[in-house]
């Protein structure tokens, strides 16, 4: 028997219903409030409540100096029910 294989943590999250969430965050610079800076945030999260994104935005508001201007969110489930099939066998070549 070969060595035990571990599943990727991101793959396990996708099987649990998580999808890839991307947030485009515009915020004002603390020393130049008239200028906007862009920040892209990406993590696996659950729609429609987005608890991971909301925790990050709460951290931003309480810990960082740049006030938020706007947040655009995109979410996609990368594994859909029709796309997941169990393998019937495994062939190993040397």
Question: pLDDT tens across 60-80, in order?
Answer: 999 999 999 999 999 998 776
Please check whether residue 19 lies inside any domain of the structure.
Answer: yes
Please check whether residue 55 lies inside any domain of the structure.
Answer: yes
Please check whether residue 15 lies inside any domain of the structure.
Answer: yes
> Would you call the peptide bond into 52 cis, given omega within 30 degrees of 0 as the criterion?
no
Please check whether residue 1 lies inside any domain of the structure.
Answer: no
Entry field: residues in the chain = 94
pLDDT band at 4 (very low <50, low <70, confident <90, very high): low
Please check whether residue 23 lies inside any domain of the structure.
Answer: yes
Give CA–CA dist 61/91, Å, rounded.
52
pTM of the shown model: 0.76
If one counts the domains in the chain, the total is 1
CA angle at 25 for the pair 22 and 19, rounded to the nearest 5°? 15
Please check whether residue 87 lies inside any domain of the structure.
Answer: no
- Domain housing 73: 9-80
């Amino acid at each position: 028997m070969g060595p035990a294989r571990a599943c990727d943590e991101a793959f396990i999250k996708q099987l649990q219903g998580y999808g890839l969430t991307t947030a485009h965050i515009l915020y004002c610079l603390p020393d130049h409030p008239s200028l906007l800076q862009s920040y892209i945030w990406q993590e696996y999260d659950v729609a429609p409540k987005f608890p991971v994104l909301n925790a990050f935005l709460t951290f931003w508001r309480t810990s960082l100096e740049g006030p938020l201007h706007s947040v655009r969110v995109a979410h996609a489930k990368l594994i859909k029910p029709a796309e997941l099939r169990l393998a019937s066998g495994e062939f190993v070549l040397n």
